[in-house]
Structures are given as C-alpha cells and as structure tokens.
Amino acid sequence: MEDEITKHYKNQDITVIWKPKVCIHSAVCFKGLPRVFNPKKKPWVNIEGSSTEVIIAQIDQCPSGALSYVHNSNEELEEETIKTKMEVLQNGPLLVYGTIEVKDKEGNKTLKNKTTAFCRCGHSENKPFCDGSHIKKEFVG
C-alpha cells in the first residue's frame, strides 16, 4: 500500500506533499488560502502564491493529513512527527495524529505519518481510511 499517489510542489524552502487518496474534502485549505490551494486550477497547488510561513500555517490545519510538507534541507524528505493523539470529527472520521503503523485485514502494513483519518460512517471505498464519502452520505454521528 506504499504505492500511494503523491504529488510534490516545491519552492525555495519547502516541498508540499499532496496525497489525494487521503483527502477528506474538508476544503479547509481552499477556504483558508485560495491563492495557493485552488481545486479549480491546474495544478491546484500554486506554491508561489504565498510565503512559506503562511503555507506551513495553512497545511498545519489540514484535518486529514493529505497535505504535508518537508523542509528542503532535509535530504531524506522525512515528514515531521508529532505525539499520538486521537480526535473524533463530528459527522466525520476518527483522526489519529502521530506516526502509526496500520495493519489491514489482509495483514498488509502501512506506515502513516502526521494525521490519519479512519472511516466511522462505513461508506469509504478505501477502508479503514476515510475517503470523504461521509459527506455524500450525510453521515451523522
């Protein structure tokens, strides 16, 4: 499962990493910083649209972890880790913050970093992870 699609957008300081399959379509990035994150444009991330500090502050608010960044000075492109924490999103997924190893029902292991959203509504096509389907299904809980 490590062959997850990722896209990279680089400026002089950081590389923004986008994982479309992890996105829960909360639109927090688009509403907060449309000069940089605009799904109507191609590419949808305009890394030159704002300063590095502003972009980092916006990425830190991404609830799913679909957006992350690394400092270009880190040769290994290691993502920053934080201590493990869990949060239930109203009418949405269970968020786990931190670095965790997830073993699926077939026994495949995936290493997740930063924020991982687990489906609570039962409608995700990418279980155990949330794929945003709870919005379409109007999940309440």
Contact between 133 and ligand FES by CB under 6 A: the answer reads yes
Phi, psi of 124 (to 5 degrees): -65, 140
Considering the complex, what minimum distance in angstroms separates the CB of residue 99 from ligand FES? 21
**Closest to ligand FES by CB, 21 or 52:** 21
Strands (E), 2-45: 7-10, 14-18
Peptide bond into 43 cis (omega under 30): yes
Contact between 123 and ligand FES by CB under 6 A: the answer reads yes
Site residues for ligand FES, 74-113, by CB under 6 A, read 92-93
Distance CA 48, CA 97 (A): 28
Considering the complex, what minimum distance in angstroms separates the CB of residue 127 from ligand FES? 8
Q: How many CB atoms lie within 10 A of CB 88?
A: 12
**Closest to ligand FES by CB, 56 or 94:** 94
Classified as helix, coil or strand, 85 is: strand
Amino acid residing at 90: Q
**Closest to ligand FES by CB, 16 or 130:** 130
**Closest to ligand FES by CB, 69 or 129:** 129
Contact between 65 and ligand FES by CB under 6 A: the answer reads no
The answer to whether the beta carbons of residues 121 and 139 sit under 8 Å apart is yes
Specify the pairing of strand 115-118 against strand 14-18.
Answer: unpaired
Q: Mark 6-45 with x for binding to ligand FES (rule: CB under 6 A) and - for no binding.
A: ------------------x---------------------
Tokens read off for 120: 């609570």
Residues that bind ligand FES (CB under 6 A): 24, 92-93, 119-121, 123-124, 130-134
